[in-house]
Amino acid sequence: MSLTYFKRFRMEISLAGREFRPSPVSADYALLPWDPALLEDHAEAKYLSFREEVDSDVFPCLGDLSGCSRLMSEISRKDGFLPAATWLAVYTGDGPDRQEFCGTVQGIRDDTGYGSIQNLGITPQHRGRGLGKHLLYHSLDGFQRFGLKRAFLEVTARNLSAIRLYEAAGFAKVRTLYKAVEVACT
């Protein structure tokens, strides 16, 4: 085993005096508010979003459906878990009888009183349609409604499209972090 270091950024945004109103997305999509009955659907959307991305190298649980299920369960049980900042995107374009869960985001109030975005992900076939921004803005609005003044997230430096999304929303890089991960030698 050897260690590999992944560069990540902590990004923050002030929520004060802002309105988070994303552009509408196609009528083929809807956002579902948190419901414990949707935990496994969040886990599946998370898995399908991250399994082939660098984040599954940084956090191996994201590359495994059962790992995503455990992670969702842990997040939803945290003291600071905020249902109002937790959303599931669903695609219904193939008819109302067929739902495809295609995006997820979770929000937590951390010990410092900041909102913490957890695992914002969109499945590959639904990217580029404004869903990431839609989920992000709904989560930030949930933090605001809870009375939080700032929010943060962490993003892997190689995830350029996510960084562009966060910067366009008003996030700024405030710190560079390095995540050490053990990898098997081949």
When pLDDT is cut at 50, 70 and 90, the band that residue 141 belongs to is very high
Q: What is the third-level CATH fold of 2-183?
A: Aminopeptidase (3.40.630)
Which region among 1-5, 36-40, 66-70 has the lowest average model confidence (pLDDT)? 1-5
N-terminal to C-terminal alpha carbon distance within the chain = 9
CA-CA-CA-CA dihedral for 50, 53, 57, 58, to nearest 10: -70
Is 104's pLDDT higher than 80?
yes
Please give the pLDDT value at position 186.
61
Report the pLDDT averaged over residues 17-43.
91
Secondary structure element (H or E) that encloses residue 116, with its range: strand 115-122
What integer best gives the mean pLDDT of the chain? 93
Closest CA to 177 of 16, 55, 1, 11: 11
DSSP string, 52-114: TSTHHHHSGGGGSHHHHHHHHHHHHHSTTB-GGG-EEEEE-TT-TT--EEEEEEEEEE-TTS-
Per-domain residue ranges of the chain: 2-183
Mean pLDDT of 67-80: 96
pLDDT at 21: 82
| Predicted model pTM | 0.93
Q: Check residue 10 and report its DSSP letter.
A: E
> CA 13, 111, 80, 168: dihedral to nearest 10 degrees?
10
Task: Output the pLDDT for position 183.
Answer: 67
pLDDT over threshold 70, residue 184 = no
Residue 185 has pLDDT above 70, yes or no: no
Single out the residue of 158, 179, 175, 154 nearest to residue 5, CA to CA: 179
pLDDT at 22: 72
- Least confident segment among 7-11, 73-77, 92-96, 167-171: 92-96
The residue that leads in pLDDT, 94 or 36, is 36
% pLDDT > 70, the chain = 97
Distance CA 147, CA 170 (A): 18
Q: Give the integer Cα–Cα distance in Å for 14 and 157.
A: 21
The band of 96, judged by pLDDT with boundaries at 50, 70 and 90, is low
Structure tokens at 30: 């809807």
- Cα dihedral sign for 10, 13, 15, 18? negative
Q: How far apart are CA 9 and CA 158, in angstroms?
A: 10
pLDDT recorded at residue 120 = 97
